[in-house]
Structure 1
Amino acid sequence: MNISVIGSINMDLVYRVPHIVKEGETLHSSSHSIHYGGKGANQAITASQLGANVSFIGKVGKDAFGNQAKGNLENNGVLTAAIKEEGSTGQAIIQVSDSGENSIVLFPGANFLVTPDQIDQEYNVIRNSDVLLLQLEIPLESVEKAIQVAANFEKIIILNPAPAKELPDSLLKKVSLLTPNETELALLTGIEPSSEEKLMEACKFLLGKGVRTVIVTLGSKGAFYINDKEHGWVEAIKVDAVDTTGAGDAFNGALAVAICRGDSLGEAVKNAAEIAAYVVTKMGAQPEFPESIKRLMT
């Protein structure tokens, strides 16, 4: 299972608060911790822990955070030869409330220095992969370049359209699996998925743009998947949430592994949901998986 991940690498500065801070409010944090993060890194480490051979294309800063973040990827089995150093390492300032919800402020740093030229230079990483997994925490032009390279090599392309932004039709028509949440789905389609009927309408809108499969993550309502052959629901797994940071990233990393090994779509979404459910029971976006969790994907 060979997966290439192109995306962000961050250091997460996490503050535990009674509730997400409101405008003009000052809150005391009950604890502060530093974790490794970035959607790309979170997804890569999830996939690597679940047995995939993962190569990463991205950038970290020429600083201590960059050395630590790159070392963390290597310690988790991710190949880092295509990670370059420039500028300052990206950071995320994260509030986690007592109820487990989170609010995030991103400083993109070196992530926004990933260029189409860098993608060109590392095209062999994509060519030697079965699946390309991307997000939107690097410049859109670099995402477009990577998707074009992968499409030229007829690779499976999984795009997690987060953070939410509008995407051109020329990009969407090359995507094998698109994995928005409710907010991202509404922005991409202009349709609020306020009912099952509206959810179906929004997904079919994207299928009409050329996306081959749409998988919508719906939090406590589970996940919905659809393509031109099938559609279905996967129920949410009830757990005691400690920190929801990285749940969507774990879902996407696990989904890439399941698709790479040839699971049916429904089974792939179910397994990804189980991995994501485990992650929210732990602090940080990159918890170490016990063997019982890894066995879900074997």
Structure 2
Amino acid sequence: MKIAVVGSTNMDLVYRVPHIVKPGETLHSTKHQLFFGGKGANQAVTAGQLGADVHFIGNVGEDNFGQQIVENLQNKGVNIEAVQQVGATGQAIIQLANSGENAIVLFPGANFLVTPAQIDVHKETIETSKVLLLQLEIPIQAVEQAANIAAKKGVPIILNPAPAQIISDALLANVSILTPNETELEILSGMKINTDEQLIQACTILLEKGVKAIVVTLGENGAFYMNASERGYVRVNKVEVKDTTGAGDAFNGALAVAQCNGMTLKESIVYASKVSEYVVTQMGAQPMIPVSLKVNER
């Protein structure tokens, strides 16, 4: 189950607050913690812990945070041969409310120094993978280059279009599974979504642009999926939420593992939901995942 992940790494600085700070408001934080993060690294670590052969392509800084991130990736089963050290490590400043909700400010650092040329150096890693997993915390040109390489070799591409932004039709046309949340889906489709009918219409717009399948993550309401032949909801179990940071990333990492293992789209979503449910009961975006959640290879 070889998975190539092209994306970001961060050090997360988490501040516990009574509620998410409002404009002009000053809050006292009751607790401060450091966690490993970055959407790309979160997804890679999840997939690695679930038994996949994960190869990460991206940057960390030439600093202590960068070295700690590299060691953490290795310790959690991720191949780091394509990780470059340059500049300052990316950071995420996270407010974590007592409700479990979060708000995040990103300093991209070395993540924004990932280039198409760097992706080309590791072309073979992408071409020989069973799935390519992408997000949008590195320059879009690097994301597009990775997608082009994979598409030419017929490697399935899972794109998590976060942070939310407009992306080109050319990139969308290469995507096998697009995994937006509701906000990201509204931006990509150009329409507001308040009803089931509008949700279907928004997904249809993206399918018509060439996306093969869409999985819309709906938080505690589960996920909605749609492709040319089927659509439906996958509901999730109620759990005691400690920290929602990285829940979507865990979902994407597990989804990639499930797809590598030949599961159907719905089976993959059910499996990814179980992994995500576990992650929100733990602190940090990269908790240790129990062996019981590993997928059995088919």
TM-score range, shorter chain: over 0.9
| 2:20 pairs with 1:20 | yes
Mapping 1:23-34, distance limit 5 Å: 23-34=23-34
Mapping 1:75-94, distance limit 5 Å: 75-94=75-94
1:237 alignment partner in structure 2: 237
Q: Structure 1 counterpart of 2:100, which letter?
A: G
Q: Partners of 1:289 and 1:121 in 2: how far apart?
A: 32
SS of 1:88's partner is coil
Q: Structure 2 counterpart of 1:138, which letter?
A: I
1:162 alignment partner in structure 2: 162
Q: Cα deviations across residues 137-181 of structure 1 (Å, max 9, x unaligned)?
A: 000000000000001111010000000000111110010000000
Q: Cα deviations across residues 252-272 of structure 1 (Å, max 9, x unaligned)?
A: 000000001000111100110
Matched pairs, number: 298
| 2:118 pairs with 1:114 | no
2:195 alignment partner in structure 1: 195
CA contact (8 A) 2:62 2:88 kept: yes
Residue 296 of structure 1, CA deviation: 7.9
| 2:123 pairs with 1:123 | yes
Q: Structure 1 counterpart of 2:168, which letter?
A: P
1:276 alignment partner in structure 2: 276
Q: Partners of 2:128 and 2:240 in 1: how far apart?
A: 40
Q: Structure 1 counterpart of 2:89, which letter?
A: T
SS of 2:184's partner is helix
Q: Partners of 2:270 and 2:297 in 1: how far apart?
A: 11
Residue 290 of structure 1, CA deviation: 1.6
Q: Partners of 2:287 and 2:52 in 1: how far apart?
A: 17
User: 4+ residue stretches of structure 1 with deviation over 6 A?
Assistant: none
Q: Structure 1 counterpart of 2:262, which letter?
A: G
Q: Partners of 2:244 and 2:192 in 1: how far apart?
A: 23
- TM value normalised by structure 2: 0.98
CA contact (8 A) 1:271 1:296 kept: no
CA contact (8 A) 2:250 2:272 kept: yes
CA contact (8 A) 2:258 2:295 kept: no
RMSD of aligned alpha carbons: 1.1
CA contact (8 A) 2:51 2:295 kept: no
Q: Partners of 1:153 and 1:120 in 2: how far apart?
A: 14
Q: Structure 1 counterpart of 2:249, which letter?
A: D
SS of 1:59's partner is strand
Q: Partners of 1:291 and 1:175 in 2: how far apart?
A: 30
Residue 123 of structure 1, CA deviation: 0.3
Mapping 1:1-298, distance limit 5 Å: 1-294=1-294
- Cα 1:295–1:133 shift into 2, 3 Å: closer
Residue 291 of structure 1, CA deviation: 2.3
CA contact (8 A) 1:271 1:297 kept: no
Q: Structure 2 counterpart of 1:51, which letter?
A: G
SS of 1:103's partner is strand
CA contact (8 A) 2:60 2:83 kept: yes
SS of 2:233's partner is strand
Q: Partners of 1:75 and 1:199 in 2: how far apart?
A: 40
Q: Partners of 1:63 and 1:254 in 2: how far apart?
A: 30
Unaligned runs of 5+ in 1: none
SS of 2:174's partner is coil
